[in-house]
Amino acid sequence: MEDNNFTPPPVPPVDGLGGWQAPPVRDTSDDIPPLKPNNWLWQSIVATILCCLVFGVVGIIYAAKVDSLYYKGQYEEAERAAKRAKIWTLIAVVVGVVYIAVSLSLYLTGNLEGLQELIEESASGYNF
Amino acid sequence: MNRLSCEYVQSEVVTIRVGRGAKIGLGIAIAIVAVGVLFVFYTLDPGEQPIFPRCPFLLLTGYECPGCGSQRAIHSLLHFDFKAAFRSNALMVPAIPYILVGIYLQYFGGSRRHPKVEKILYGRWSALTVLVLVFAFWIGRNLF
Given CA atoms A15, A18, A22, A27 in this order, what sign does their dihedral have? Answer: negative
Q: How far is B31 from chain A (nearest CA, A)?
A: 16
Q: Name the residue with higher pLDDT: A32 or A107.
A: A107
CB atoms within 10 A of CB A46: 25
Q: What is the CA radius of gyration of chain B?
A: 20
Peptide linkage before B97 cis (omega within 30 of 0): no
**How large is the angle between the packed helices A41-50 and B124-143, nearest 10 degrees?**
10
Is ipTM > 0.95 here?
no
Q: Do A116 and B54 touch (CB under 8 A)?
A: yes
Interface of B with A in 80-99 (CB under 8 A): 89, 91-92, 95, 98-99
Percentage of chain A modeled with pLDDT above 70: 59
Residue A1 DSSP class = -
Please report residues of B whose CB lies closer than 8 A to that of A106: none
pLDDT of A102 higher than 80: yes
Cβ neighbour number for residue A19 with a 10 Å cutoff:
8
Q: What average pLDDT score do residues B88-96 get?
A: 90
Cα B71 to Cα A2, B86, B98, distances in angstroms: 43, 12, 18
| CA A111 – CA B140 distance, rounded (Å) | 35
| Chain centroid to CA A65 | 11
Residues sharing a CB contact under 8 Å with residue B57, sequence separation 6 or more, in sequence order: A53, A54, B63, B64, B65, B68
**Out of A31-35, A44-48, B94-98, least confident range:** A31-35
> What per-residue confidence (pLDDT) applies to A37?
77
Rounded to whole angstroms, the Cα distance separating B51 from A5 reads: 48
**Nearest CA of chain A to the CA of B66: how many Å?**
6
Residues recorded for chain A:
128
Residue B13 contacts A, CB cutoff 8 Å: no
Nearest to A73 by CA among A40, A18, A13, A25: A25
Distance (Å, rounded) from C-alpha B89 to C-alpha A84? 27
Pick A64's closest partner by Cβ from B61, B113, B128.
Answer: B128
Q: Is pLDDT above 50 for A48?
A: yes
Most confident of A14-18, A57-61, B76-80: B76-80
Task: Say if the Cβ atoms of B113 and A5 lie within 8 Å.
Answer: yes
Report the mean per-residue pLDDT for chain B.
83
**CB-CB contact of B72 with B38 (8 Å):** no
- Whether pLDDT at B78 is above 90: yes
Instruction: Tell me the count of A-B CB pairs closer than 8 A.
Output: 116
CA A19, distance to chain mean position in Å, is 30
The verdict on whether omega for the bond into residue A12 sits within 30 degrees of 0, i.e. cis, is no
Q: What is the CA radius of gyration of chain A?
A: 22
| Chain B interface, best mutation among A36, A48, A86, A117, by max B CB count within 10 A | A48
Contacts of B94 (CB under 8 A, 6+ apart): none
Highest mean pLDDT among A7-11, A85-89, A110-114: A85-89
pLDDT category at B6 given cuts 50, 70, 90 is very low
Q: How far apart are CA B78 and CA B85, in angstroms?
A: 9
Tell me the one-letter amino acid at B101.
Answer: V
In this complex, which of A20, A64, A103 lies closest to B131 when CB atoms are compared? A64
Mean pLDDT for the stretch of residues B14-27: 73
Flag whether pLDDT at A35 surpasses 80: no
- Give A96's contacts (C-beta < 8 A, 6+ positions apart): A47, A50, A51, A52, A53
Q: What is the pLDDT of residues A76-101, one digit of tens each?
A: 888 888 888 888 888 888 888 888 88
Tell me the pTM: 0.69
Per-residue pLDDT, averaged over B49-60, amounts to: 83
Note whether A42 contacts B122, CB cutoff 8 Å: yes
